[in-house]
Amino acid sequence: MFSLTNKTALITGGASGIGLAITETFARAGALVHILELNTDQARQAAARLTAEGCKVYAHAVDVSEQGQVREVVNAIAARDGIQILVNNAGIAHVGTAESTTEADFDQVVKVNIKGVYNCLHATIPHLKAGGGGVILNMASVAATLGLPDRFAYSMSKGAVLTMTLSVAKDYLKANIRCNCISPARVHTPFVDGFLAKNYPGQEPEMFAKLSATQPIGRMAKPAEIAALALYLCSDEAGFVTGCDYPIDGGFTRLNN
């Protein structure tokens, strides 16, 4: 079950955190994986490590906010390998309220988290249609539906990802393209460790425990747990699933009373 053999998957931001876990999981499930990543060194290292395991993984230097770059790379991949799966994972975080968020920061969040997803959809959907269909998976967040405190721009951007997911699912249903999104709560990635080191030096263990406790299950998610859900949603076993948002949040959405 859940084999991705003979499928080509594009994964944006696929060289770190959740994206890396998805890259590893998809590659080991048999997919030919193309990492679209701003951090070229990380992408090449991940591709080399997985290639040494016998997987097929390629790295591409791409800024998802630049439509020309995205189009050029996607077209080249489609011409060589075809495309069956797109995972829109690349994104940036931001801390701030509507009052404290600067215009520059707001524009950057929109550019990466919203326009970046649009750029990849815009470039990839024609190839999915030409190939008879495929799967799109977007990375949203519990912030899309709850609006997290002090995460104004980030929550806004993930709300846009959620509604783009629903729109694409409806528009391309007859083209045999499924589109869903995943909404994680806190996930223990290198970003979290870096955030704590920068903002709470010397208090990292204490603050990590505090953040972990905000999930009713009592811990943060592991990237591999998010990747396992992504694998299911992009596999043929999920052929009846489209237009859905999947919270994977340790009870954060429903049980955090």
Residue 146 inside a domain? The answer is yes
Q: Can you give the CATH number for the domain in which 98 is found?
A: 3.40.50.720
66 and 174: one domain? yes
Domain carrying residue 197? 186-220
CB 35 within 8 A of CB 14: yes
CB 14 within 8 A of CB 31: no
Could you give the CA distance from residue 15 to residue 59 in angstroms, rounded to a whole number?
Answer: 9
Q: In this structure, what DSSP letter does residue 222 have?
A: P
214 and 113: one domain? no
67 and 122: one domain? yes
88 and 203: one domain? no
Residue 1 inside a domain? The answer is no
193 and 83: one domain? no
101 and 193: one domain? no
The residue whose two tokens read 């016998």 is 54
Q: What is the pLDDT of residues 30-45, one digit of tens each?
A: 999 999 999 999 999 9
What is the value of pTM for the model shown?
A: 0.95
36 and 146: one domain? yes
158 and 49: one domain? yes
Residue 65 inside a domain? The answer is yes
Q: What is the pLDDT of residues 195-226, one digit of tens each?
A: 888 889 999 999 999 989 989 999 999 999 99
Q: 127: closest CA among 68, 170, 172?
A: 172
Length of the chain: 257
Residue 59 inside a domain? The answer is yes
Q: What is the pLDDT of residues 33-90, one digit of tens each?
A: 999 999 999 999 999 999 999 999 999 999 999 999 999 999 999 999 999 999 999 9
Residue 256 inside a domain? The answer is no
**Own/partner pairs for 103-106, CB < 8 Å, 24+ apart?**
105/153, 106/153
Residue 257 inside a domain? The answer is no
The residue whose two tokens read 């903002």 is 199
94 and 214: one domain? no
Per-residue CA distances from 50 to 46, 85, 128, 183 (Å): 6, 19, 26, 27
Residue 200: active-site member? no
Count of C-beta atoms within a 10 Å radius of residue 180? 24
- In the chain, how many domains are there? 2
94 and 65: one domain? yes
180 and 196: one domain? no
Residue 206 inside a domain? The answer is yes
Contacts with 199 (C-beta within 8 Å, 6 or more apart), sequence order: none
Q: Which of 118, 154, 172, 246 is catalytic?
A: 154
Q: What is the pLDDT of residues 136-183, one digit of tens each?
A: 999 999 999 997 899 999 999 999 999 999 999 999 999 999 999 999
181 and 88: one domain? yes
CB 33 within 8 A of CB 45: no
CB 183 within 8 A of CB 145: yes
**Amino acid (one-letter) located at 13:** G
Residue 254 inside a domain? The answer is no
